[in-house]
Structure 1
Amino acid sequence: MFEFINNDDDRGQVGIGTLIVFIAMVLVAAIAAGVLINTAGFLQSQAEATGEESTDLVSERIDVTTSVGIVSNASEGNLSSIRVGVAGAAGADQIDLSEATIEAVGPNGQENLVFNQSSIDGGDATNISANEFGVQEDDEFVTADDAILDGDGQLTIVLNPESSPFGSPGDAFGEGESTSLAIVSPSSATTSVELTSPDLYEEDNEAVRL
């Protein structure tokens, strides 16, 4: 019923076979452990990156503090500029407005606006090129190096009411019209704002709340 190995040479062969199987099992276990460790490290890195992105979407957000329009000619009912005051959300780090984009929908269509990289002649909003926006600090247009929201500081995004999607040359955004803006920070945090112009302007050069 049982087979006994009486030959010493046969006993040695059986022992070597068992050892080989044991070593193979150890190698397989080591490889599996290495795969698990690498996978765990990858998942941890991915989770950290996802967490940082989620935090940025919440904290690196742009808050809108004011929104006004400057009347060019009350009798014609048009604006000379649209001005949106912005600041960084509570706890936000520096936010580079030159890297931000604005998704705008208005009476004249839809456009994605980017920062105006060149100087704006005469400081006039109507000189802002189509599909672009300017940034002002203390009523002066700034370059990309200074278009930074930092701490409690505030800047003003300036839009041309005579360019698409707000209006067209000679037919600027004005009385009773509405537009919506989605201001997207460099970290992709989005702030939405609806701007609606009053139905009637009273004076030239007055600032009206939008």
Structure 2
Amino acid sequence: MKKIIVLAVLLALVSLVPGAAMADSIKGRLGVTGKVGFIVPSDNEAEFGFGTNHTDTGLVVGGGLLYGIDDHFAAELDVTNSSFDSEIGDFDVTDISFGGQYRFTNMRDRRLVPYIGAGLDIISSDFDSDFGGRRHVDTTLGVHLSGGLDYFVEKHVALTAEAKVVLAPDADITDDGFHSGSFDPTNFSTTFGVRFFFN
């Protein structure tokens, strides 16, 4: 079902592409972003130290705000939620990230704007164990590095694609206050979406 949803969103994005358009400067402009994609999480310590808890690729959805400081620098607030399975339970992760982008605006095709970014992440997680019950997972801080591109289909609308790596220390998983495992929030994700600029 998740794959069908992602495919439907991607087809909708492709249908938005008209003919020629020019990217305008985003200096002083506020944009809102919606996106969907895939996350490849790290493996974790299994409950009570019994080996490694291997994880599966999952779905990530989210959105955020982008504000152009000048022609090259932009500030970004992003919130994503991802869910993925593991050998011994299901994880649900919310990542609130604050950061910035450097945008390469001097491209031959003015519609295409590559960018790189970095920032700070607040990572809140839940774990539903196959052994019964929801475990508490500590909130942790991390950092991210990202790279992507915006393709402007018109002045106010851009299609976007991004790859992002989040690096963070392990968080404790506890059951009734007792340590039962560790969660490694480090992950790699790829997303596709749309940005809409208001002004």
- Normalised to the residue count of structure 2, the TM-score between the two structures is 0.28
Higher strand content, 1 or 2:
2
Structure 1 or 2, whichever has the larger Rg, is 1
Higher helix content, 1 or 2:
1
- Normalised to the residue count of structure 1, the TM-score between the two structures is 0.27
